[in-house]
Structure 1
């Protein structure tokens, strides 16, 4: 455990750093979530197959997930600022290439390049704030950082829908590009050059990086059969993932300076937080996609209307995250995260029941608000507990692990939703579901799709219930934020209220 006194907090204007990194977060998450409602339009206009449509959506997350661990460790060695800036530049360039894409394959390649830049950004964002803010302000900063990310993620479909309605699907990238450029300029001006850490003298684990990237890629390919038309690829990737995992473990145990610091997992609190982050992402990430697909394919609404449908999630996230900034000083992380996951489960079940009943899709609004509240309440205590528990020189890899697991969860959530929602559909019906035109086909195909959507919702609800159990297993005493300057000499802990 790192004492609070050891935390670097010399920057005189930390909120400027927060503002700059927030713009970067917005750019990245707009690029991720905006396509959830624009996908049907992209599919129709580029003539993409079902497999290509899946790659357009999942390829970005696959690359980001595979590289976060590598960039987390690299940031601890070369510094967070240069890697963060390089990621922003690459993301902006790739966004321009997406905007110019003449074909589905071009767009897939550009999205993969976007994912590389996004990995460098999301890996360093939270760690930069932790290095910049004094401990008594860090909880508030991390809370608002989580809020910005969550709101950008759920507002992305609204902006994506509006941009698609006004300018076509390329409009999404037209919006993202200037945001990315602003993020680069703001970060150059606001983010300070960090102090040298001992870890910067440590060698980079190239073998571990290659094995980790290959292993994570094999895992996600094995768990997302929709990205390939070959039936044997998932099985082969699963076998390769096992072999690579064994090789990676052996290499890490023999390295003096490994890619993954396994000593982090000796802390039960850190381990459980990381598991909870994964479960939360699996349970909640695909909701916007499911609602959007259902609304466009079944009810025939426009892309912009589908984006507006998920606005209650953003509202709930803002409300709960703002409250969490204060609640984290009074209640233990296990309490706040468990309540957050429970609200996620209630919201998911309500959305599922409402869509299954065949009523207007707008009736999902109150349950989407509850889901947003759960997300906002979960993020702040889980993130702050992890970052304050990790040693200062290992925050890059600790945040890398958190970001990796969150992105794995996002990817699995999306893959689960797409695979289950289209199971049992003919090839034509599957492409019609992606294109938002399933309603013109026979009623049998439509009924199957609606039944599948209900199955997706129930599965995600079950995952959220598992998350409640994981959160309740958190230690009763956990690292938390000191409430005032006199407390900075030691890390305060929060106990369960009597």
Structure 2
């Protein structure tokens, strides 16, 4: 008589591995919080620092630009200098920069400190993931990766409400100073629990793409400056900066073709399906980020909400996206990524149209209900589009493809902050001549979300026109009844 097989027992993590995973979790949570914690405070910061909307945009942009520039190459830098050593340096830099943000006497100092904070955040985000395999047993790597992903999404979701709470209770400086005690604890935990680095191979020095990194930083900074300097986007300085961004981008592509270890692989962009899906990712990320930049000003100045309520309201979108992530993945597996990608875009479009067409007299409910639909559609699109991208490339190129996917997303976040923010500021300035502040802000919100709806409509048309077959992906036609 044979006994029934019992499931294998998952061995408990050793004490050192638990502490190591705890330090990596905090190192993932802190920079994720700071991606969104400042958004709730933008109206307050504009008033406290006597700055315009376009100037306080850079509190978000400086952080995003630093992360986007470095995130693709930090892994190689870790191979060169040692992952543990570089992560400890990143945590220390992030903590020190957070202290400088909280003590900044003016906007210029705050922006410089936010850029340094972004450098530390890039090191923490990339190396936390890279160190998981070195810190926990192989059988627990998947669950550890899932924990870090959950904490990343949780940080982005909690950031606005935590920011609003801190501003309402102890002032805006504490949205940055809160990182100081957390950073010290994280640094001590990582120093005590992470394994010492193996001596790096000197030959890896050649694997870091310094020219590509510098050109990427130049292109991104010039692009963001072109959209945020002054009110006239067609001024010679703005056009010159835009031309510089285009030139730097062209040089970047040329450098990447010859680089020994490129930041991204230009040859992959020749794949039509991949190009389309990367463009969709950029458009959708642009729209989602615009809700986190335009939203605070509409909620604070259009609806007259206090900072705490602004923060709580801003958390609704990221929270819906986080909670919808798992069901969205199940729908993609069950019904097919192509159909779910289009369904997600359609949901986003309907939500944005509601934001544009519903009257402001509906108040907060009239804003948050359509926004929840937008972010639920975003979660469904992300799960489906990421699946399509990974299914459509050779397995040996999935790492490079994932890098392109992250780059397109971050470019969208920067565009949502800079381009959509510039549009909101322009409409608001034009409307303020004939309207009161709440009405002018409401008009600017409707106009900006109207353009966002057009971007999603374009994305939906591109998704509907993409009929290339993907291995393992059922076409939508098979899902129709009969």
TM-score band by shorter chain is: 0.7 to 0.9
* Residues 99 and 381 (structure 1), Cα distance of their counterparts in 2 relative to 1, 3 Å cut: same
Normalising by structure 2, report the TM-score. Answer: 0.80
Indicate the residue corresponding to 2:3 in structure 1.
none
Q: Counterparts of 1:379 and 1:114 in 2: how far apart (Å)?
A: 27
Q: Counterparts of 2:241 and 2:173 in 1: how far apart (Å)?
A: 33
Shift of residue 303, structure 1, vs aligned partner: 0.5
* Residues 192 and 377 (structure 1), Cα distance of their counterparts in 2 relative to 1, 3 Å cut: farther
Indicate the residue corresponding to 1:232 in structure 2.
236
Shift of residue 101, structure 1, vs aligned partner: 1.3
Indicate the residue corresponding to 1:264 in structure 2.
268
1:334 matched to 2:327: no
Shift of residue 103, structure 1, vs aligned partner: 1.8
Indicate the residue corresponding to 1:463 in structure 2.
455
Alignment of 1:148-167 (within 5 A): 148-167=151-170
Shift of residue 37, structure 1, vs aligned partner: 1.7
Q: Counterparts of 1:121 and 1:228 in 2: how far apart (Å)?
A: 38
* Residues 400 and 374 (structure 1), Cα distance of their counterparts in 2 relative to 1, 3 Å cut: same
Q: Is the 8 A contact 2:282 2:409 kept in 1?
A: yes
Q: Counterparts of 1:192 and 1:276 in 2: how far apart (Å)?
A: 42
Structure 1 stretch 195-204 or stretch 79-88: which is displaced more?
195-204
* Residues 262 and 99 (structure 1), Cα distance of their counterparts in 2 relative to 1, 3 Å cut: same
1:360 matched to 2:363: yes
Q: Counterparts of 1:193 and 1:227 in 2: how far apart (Å)?
A: 50
Indicate the residue corresponding to 1:206 in structure 2.
210
Q: Counterparts of 1:134 and 1:383 in 2: how far apart (Å)?
A: 27
Indicate the residue corresponding to 1:170 in structure 2.
173
Normalising by structure 1, report the TM-score. Answer: 0.77
List gaps (5 residues or longer) in structure 2: 1-11
Q: Is the 8 A contact 1:71 1:123 kept in 2?
A: yes
Indicate the residue corresponding to 2:419 in structure 1.
416
1:477 matched to 2:470: yes
1:254 matched to 2:284: no
Q: Alignment partner of 2:262: what SS?
A: coil
Q: Counterparts of 1:162 and 1:450 in 2: how far apart (Å)?
A: 25
Shift of residue 20, structure 1, vs aligned partner: 5.1
Indicate the residue corresponding to 1:374 in structure 2.
377
Alignment of 1:45-444 (within 5 A): 45-71=48-74, 74=77, 82-124=85-127, 148-184=151-187, 189=193, 200=204, 202-225=206-229, 231-268=235-272, 270-354=274-358, 356-383=359-386, 395=399, 398-423=401-426, 443-444=435-436
Identify the structure with bigger relative contact order (alpha carbons < 8 Å, sequence gap 6+).
1
Q: Is the 8 A contact 1:421 1:452 kept in 2?
A: yes
Deviation readout 1:101-142 (Å, 9 max, x if unpaired): 122221111111112222333445666679999999999877
Shift of residue 300, structure 1, vs aligned partner: 1.7
Structure 1 stretch 417-426 or stretch 71-80: which is displaced more?
71-80
Aligned residue pairs: how many? 461
Shift of residue 386, structure 1, vs aligned partner: 5.1
1:37 matched to 2:40: yes
Structure 1 stretch 124-133 or stretch 53-62: which is displaced more?
124-133
Structure 1 stretch 65-74 or stretch 449-458: which is displaced more?
65-74
* Residues 316 and 249 (structure 1), Cα distance of their counterparts in 2 relative to 1, 3 Å cut: closer
Structure 1 stretch 103-112 or stretch 372-381: which is displaced more?
372-381
* Residues 349 and 80 (structure 1), Cα distance of their counterparts in 2 relative to 1, 3 Å cut: farther
Q: Counterparts of 1:228 and 1:105 in 2: how far apart (Å)?
A: 22
Structure 1 stretch 339-348 or stretch 144-153: which is displaced more?
144-153
The two structures, once aligned, show a CA RMSD in angstroms of 4.1
Higher alpha-carbon Rg: 2
Q: Alignment partner of 1:301: what SS?
A: coil
* Residues 342 and 209 (structure 1), Cα distance of their counterparts in 2 relative to 1, 3 Å cut: same
Structure 1 stretch 160-169 or stretch 325-334: which is displaced more?
325-334
Indicate the residue corresponding to 2:445 in structure 1.
453
Q: Counterparts of 2:445 and 2:97 in 1: how far apart (Å)?
A: 33
* Residues 108 and 177 (structure 1), Cα distance of their counterparts in 2 relative to 1, 3 Å cut: same
